[in-house]
Each structure stands twice: as structure tokens, then as C-alpha cells.
Homo-oligomer: A and B are copies of this chain.
Amino acid sequence: MRPRHSVHRVRVLYQDTDQGRVVHHASYFRYLEAGRLELWREGDFSYDAFEKDTGLALPVVEAQVRYRASARFDELLEVETWVEKATQASIWVESIVRRGETVLIEARIRLACVTQATGQIRRIPVALLEACLEEDA
């Protein structure tokens, strides 16, 4: 088994840009969130159902982003997303946002698992970990 890589396409909207005529650094977190949700979905893990069925949630507890090149209005970007590392306590999700061959940003987002009502830390669900793997070719 190996990490499943998901590729999700996003279109840059006018409101994602700033007066520097490029995508504002905070706007990328939207693209990253969309990429993670599609990674889960491709592994048949519905985050929405997960929250409803278990009373748990997967908050972002750490973010590391390198901005390497700028995206611009109306560009169609690719967000490649995969689980880079997982422990009982957290998973690191990596993403690369690209325009064609050009890497725009590299991101590492760490998620923990908590009980929604109390915020108490829980183990990362096995079902999530399995959803992020696929058969070796």
C-alpha cells in the first residue's frame, strides 16, 4: 500500500486576488481545504458523515506553507494532496499547488482528531488512514 495522491482542480476567482494582481497568500487555504476533502472523498471517506456519525472532528493544528510562485486571476490550478505521515495523534497532509509544471506553493497541514463537544484529543481514525492509501501499482 502507498499514499493515495489526489489531484483537484480549482479556478482562481477575482476575489482570490489582491491589489498585487496575484492570489493573496491566505486564499490558498481554501484550495488546500478543497484538496483535502477530495482526497478523503476519493478514498470513500466522507468528512461530513464522519463528523455527524462520530461526534469527532479533524481540526488543523499546524500549517507550514512555502510560496514559490504567484497564481493569477482565472488560472486553472491543480492541487495535489496526499498523507505524508501519520501517527496515532496526528496526520500530516502535504499539498502542492501547481499551474502546469510550475509549483506555486508547497504546504504541510497537520490535523488532529478531537471530540467536537469537549475538544478532547482522540486517536486518528483508522478508517481515515485507510482511505488515504491505495494499492501499489
Contact = CB atoms under 8 A, between A and B. Distances in A.
A5 to B, nearest CB: 20
Interface stretch (A20-28, A81-89, A95-103, A121-129): A20-28
A30 B34 CA distance: 14
29 contacts: A11-B34, A13-B30, A13-B33, A13-B34, A14-B18, A14-B19, A14-B20, A14-B33, A15-B18, A15-B24, A15-B26, A15-B29, A15-B30, A18-B18, A18-B19, A19-B21, A19-B73, A20-B116, A25-B29, A25-B60, A26-B29, A26-B33, A29-B29, A47-B74, A48-B74, A59-B67, A59-B70, A61-B66, A63-B67
Interface of A: 11, 13-15, 17-22, 24-27, 29-30, 33-34, 37, 46-48, 57, 59-67, 70, 73-74, 116, 119
Given A13-B37, A59-B67, A26 B21 contact: no
Given A25-B29, A30-B26, A46-B74, A59 B15 contact: no
A29 B22 CA distance: 17
Contacts of A64: 62-65
Closest 9 CB pairs of A and B: A26-B29, A48-B74, A25-B60, A17-B19, A19-B21, A63-B65, A15-B24, A61-B67, A64-B64
